[in-house]
Amino acid sequence: MIGRLHGLQSRMVDTTAFFGIGIWQLLGRAGRHGVEEWDRYAEGWLSRGGEEFYRVPEKIPEGLSEGRVSFSSPLKGDREENNRFHLRVWPGPKGMRSPAMVLLHSLFSASDVGYVHWASVLNRLGWTAVFYDLPYHFRRRPKGTWSGELIFGGNLIRSAEAIRQAVTEVRIVTRMLKASGAPEVGLWGMSLGGWVAGLTLCHEPGLACGWLAQPIPDVATAIWDSEGGWVLRRQMEERGLDRKRVEKLLPLVCPSHGKLQLSSKRVLVVGGSHDSVAPPFKLRALSEGWGGAHYREVGQGHIGYQAMPSTWRWGRELMPELFIGK
């Protein structure tokens, strides 16, 4: 009985949040495109492959240091504010030569307060913490928009380009950290951040670990099978963009189609038992498909406060070697 009530409460929280998000999406400020434009985009990139889609430039920026720093993005778009990527860096006890964890936030995040807490925890255990602003969020938010509004606002080409931009930039950040002396670099992502982290783990070799809290494993599921996609579904269908068409690009933008570049024993996936955006059965399948990555579950929907602290606890329990002697 208690379990059913908790599940109902979790779904009510998600439903309320997703209704508000849908109202923003109805504004249509992300722009529009038609079927033919989408087909050209998807088929063009599929013919070139994931290595080209997430290609990192040969020259990596320099100047990574404590505090707030920003760098020019190698991928430019039509919104000037989004053409730089921003970081907040808290060096560990050995300065930039400490092992480092890159923190990747969730969709529509408007405050980094919680991540500041986790940065201090990582510092106490010997790690550098780096908070990365995902495209169209925080300091990358174009004027007149909400944080993250444009990344999923009915324009799937903009959405795909934002994922491409995020993965490419995170790959750059991990290389900057290594160039600054970090002996190990890990990723810790929540929801959208977990999605980006998962893709990065499949394209960037040499990472120490990946902790993914409720990552989006399959964008088609998030749009067509969850309450969170109610506006996007309508917008897609009005333009003739059915599920089959959208799924064309899944091999490039969904972690479930990728192959890990590190041991599965260094990867933790955490699901929410009442989550319809990142359903538990999809995340279990993701973990299994990645060769038996660790999977754990918390009793919440997609919106909740258990996932981050639980990910931290399980990550330390399952990978104690990351924190010994740091």
Q: Per-residue pLDDT averaged across 204-232, rounded? A: 89
* All domains in the chain, ordered by first residue: 2-322 (3.40.50.1820)
Q: Count helices and strands (H / E) in the chain.
A: 12, 8
Nearby residues of 99 by Cβ (< 8 Å), 6 or more positions away:
92, 126, 127, 128, 182, 183, 184, 185, 186, 208, 322, 326
Convert the pLDDT of each residue in 55-111 to its tens digit. 999 999 999 999 999 999 999 999 999 999 999 999 999 999 999 999 999 998 988
**Are 279 and 304 contacting, i.e. CB atoms less than 8 angstroms apart?**
no
Q: Is the pLDDT of residue 25 over 80?
A: no
Distance (Å, whole) CA 141 – CA 13: 26
Q: What percent of the chain has pLDDT over 70?
A: 91
Least confident window among 111-120, 124-133, 144-153, 293-302: 144-153
Least confident window among 18-32, 144-158, 275-289: 18-32
Q: Is the pLDDT of residue 2 over 80?
A: no
- Residue 105 pLDDT: 97
Q: Is the pLDDT of residue 28 over 80?
A: no
Q: Per-residue pLDDT averaged across 191-207, rounded? A: 98
Convert the pLDDT of each residue in 96-108 to its tens digit. 999 999 999 999 8
State in Å, rounded, how far the first CA of the chain is from the last one: 45
- Residue 237 pLDDT: 82
pLDDT band of 26, cuts 50, 70, 90:
low
Distance (Å, whole) CA 207 – CA 292: 17
Question: Which is more confidently placed, 166 or 7?
Answer: 166
**Are 31 and 155 contacting, i.e. CB atoms less than 8 angstroms apart?**
yes
